[in-house]
Amino acid sequence: MQRLNKPEIILALDVDTLEKARYFVEKLYPRIKSFKIGSQLFTAYGPEAVNMVVKKGGRVFLDLKFHDIPKTVHKAVISGSSIGIPMVVSGSAEIGKEAKQAVSLPIFMMTVHIKGGQAMLEEAARGAKEAAEKLKITKPFIVGVTCLTSDDSKKDTLKEVLQAAELAKKSGLDGVVCSALEAAQVRKACGADFIIVTPGIRSSKDALNDQKRTADVKSAVKAGSNFLVIGRPILEANDPIAKTEELLGDL
């Protein structure tokens, strides 16, 4: 497994054009080194969006929440692991020496949906290992989505998240995506090496938008989150650099 450093902010590039995504990557890298590409941007631009981040020197959290029959998810993880690598291997003149080192693993993390079941999760984990061996790269993290942070908290939400996290660990996944409200209990149940990715990060001054189960940076870090996914608080800020510095300071 890749070694985890201190908690890190991932910028969610949830925008509708490649130009907007490029604007934020160029403006905020290397303050932010990791960028989430989800279904909105990837559906419109595919690997081109990943390559844009790679060219700048960043790495990508590919958040496509694979949920299909086990064989299909296995193949999807293998395919996802290879996106962006040709740019690095070819040693494009457009990528500087520092950037080449930074993008040795363009897709460093991917998501699958835990509701796909144990067989699917095991195939996702197997696909990541196969891709790493074949491509001679560090294995990308595979994390399972538990409960969306846009969902209201229910009486059994914590129980459901913990059950999902335990299934993820049993199936060979590296971690889960969950809100900061469950992160401490997930950390306690699954151990220090289990990755926790937390979206829905907001400061008290930020609009909630459609997020229901939110937390600020300090609370998420205290709860044990490794990666904090932040989108609109930065994307919609009057000064994205100042907002990023504020959030980084809270780490």
Residues marked as catalytic? 65
End-to-end alpha-carbon separation of the chain, Å? 23
Radius of gyration of the chain (CA): 17
Element spanning 112, H or E: strand 107-113
Instruction: Report the DSSP beta bridge partners of residue 195.
Output: 175
Q: 243 and 233 in contact (C-beta within 8 Å)?
A: yes
Phi-psi region of 41 (alpha: psi -120 to 50; beta: other; left: phi over 0): alpha
Distance set, CA 163 to CA 65, 159, 226 (Å)? 18, 6, 20
Amino acid at residue number 244:
T
d(CA 36, CA 150): 17
Structure tokens given for 245: 């510095």
